[in-house]
Homo-oligomer: A and B are copies of this chain.
Amino acid sequence: MNNPVTANGRAYAWPQHPTVVICVDGCEPAYIEQAIAAGLMPNLKAMLARGTDLRADCVVPSFTNPNNLSIVTGVPPAVHGICGNYFIDPASGEEVMMNDPTFLRCGTLLAAFAAAGARIAIVTAKDKLRTLLGHGLPMDSGRVVCFSSEKADRTSVAEHGIADALGFVGLPLPSVYSAELSEFVFAAGCRLLESAPWDLMYLSTSDYIQHKHAPGTPVANAFYAMMDGYLGRLDALGATIAITADHGMKPKHDDAGRPNVVYLQPLLDEWVGADHCRVVLPITDPYVVHHGALGSFAVIHLTSLGDTSMVAARLRLVTGVNEVLERDEACVRFGLPPDREGELIVISESDWTLGTRPDRHDLSQLKEPLRSHGGTSEQRVPLLLNRRSEAPPADRKPRNFDAFSLALNRRLD
């Protein structure tokens, strides 16, 4: 039996069974709870009855990239460096996507296992995550695959460890805005595990459905019923399966279905002058159809530090604003890298979002009342395992980035 593998200061037992960690994007716990209550997830229900059914806190900002990277590194963004989808690069002063591995400050536990000889498979829904998640993996080793549903038709052995992933999975290439994009991830995971003895697998879906459909509604229930079929197949293959989420999802609209938005830039322009402040929304990415770049977390950069406490005090009085934290306080509380944040962090109330200015948000594509994430109100996520594990001590709050530790060590180390 192989030795434990250490990554970023945490030790992970060598997998005794194929171990699959699934990050269900935007999986507010109520989605699973209501689908089980409706009798639509019989496989998961049976797995939990003999397994582990916890709730965990995700990383704040409750966005996709910071949380996926925390799950595969086992540490918060203060260590791995990915604190948003989007930020102001202090080196250049430019607003850039944070999806390049140059921004990553530590290795992943998947790369550490691969270096120790493990077989590793990663499938993501959107391609934006693939290069970050696959960072440091020996793609040419024959022991690693890493590809996305979105670009499954363009894989190569050199870059993805697999030629023609699309043909291998055997489903049509899904639209990037569809439930099928996530179904393709599950289908790929099952096909992979049916075809080879992978040691570790990481499957990460898209929250397209969750942004549009509330827990317990027909489309959401159908999504989770679909997922349950694949969970049953993975379970029958003998896999250890851990399920968590990158973040939850909450309604962000008024009774009439209009989005609740605090537009921050006009307020700041009035208070300190347009040249002295910049609002950055780390939810921003190329895929904004389902949320219009409106989330519950904003970063404010101020050129004059003397403005900080005045701006904070005024923002706290704005309807829809829940918390305004100065950089150091926010970084300690949420485990964020101070050099990649602004002077102030703003978190909206559960049913509100934060925008820059109205003309920078295209809400014309929002067909349903806005649902989104980013704040502390979307921090609670499932942490499920199809095997029994030790109960955590009282003062050890489970985190979503304990998923690999829980699956491999059967306790929260």
Q: Name the distance in Å between A50's Cβ and chain B's nearest Cβ.
A: 17
Q: Which residues of B contact A262 (CB under 8 A)?
A: 394
Q: Is the CB of A380 within 8 A of B318?
A: no
Q: Which single residue of chain B is at the shortest CB-CB distance from A36?
A: B255
A317 within 8 A of B: yes
Alpha-carbon separation in the docked complex, A397 to B352 (Å): 14
Q: Given the complex of chains A and B, what is the CA–CA distance between A397 and B316 in angstroms?
A: 8
CA of A107 to CA of B94, assembled, Å: 55
For A397, the chain B residues whose CB sits under 8 A away are 316-319, 321
Interface residues of A in 346-396 (CB under 8 A from B): 349, 376, 380, 392, 394-396
Q: Which of B322, B395, B396 contacts A315 (CB 8 A)?
A: B395
Residue of B nearest to A33 (CB): B255
CB distance from A290 to the nearest CB of B (A): 25
Q: Which of A317, A380, A392, A395 has the most CB of B within 10 A?
A: A395
B267 touches A394 (CB 8 A): yes
Q: Is A276 an interface residue (CB 8 A)?
A: no
In the assembled complex, the Cα of A33 lies from the Cα of B251 at a distance in Å of 15
**How many whole Å from A250's CB to the nearest CB in chain B?**
11
Contact B380 A319 (CB under 8 A): no
**Given that A349-B380, A380-B349 are contacting pairs, would A395 and B267 also be in contact in the complex, using a CB cutoff of 8 Å?**
yes
> Quick one: CB contact mask for A295-329 with B, threshold 8 Å, 1 for yes?
00000000000000000001111110110000000
* Chain B residue at minimum C-beta to C-beta distance from A54: B319
- As for how many copies of this chain the complex holds, the number is 2
Compute how far the CA of A267 lies from the CA of B349 in the bound complex, rounded to whole angstroms. Answer: 31
A318 touches B267 (CB 8 A): no
Q: Which residues of B contact A292 (CB under 8 A)?
A: none
Q: Are B319 and A392 in contact (CB under 8 A)?
A: yes
State whether the Cβ of A398 lies closer than 8 Å to any Cβ in chain B.
yes
- Cβ contact within 8 Å between A394 and B349: no
Provide the residues of chain B in CB contact with A392, threshold 8 Å: 319
Please state if A319 and B394 are interface contacts (CB–CB under 8 Å).
yes
Given contacts A319-B397, A319-B398, A322-B376, 4 further A-B contacts (CB under 8 A): A267-B394, A317-B396, A319-B394, A349-B380
Binding site for B on A (CB under 8 A): 33, 37, 55, 255, 262, 267, 314-319, 321-322, 349, 376, 380, 392, 394-398
The 7 nearest A-B residue pairs measured at CB: A317-B395, A314-B395, A317-B397, A319-B397, A318-B395, A318-B394, A317-B396
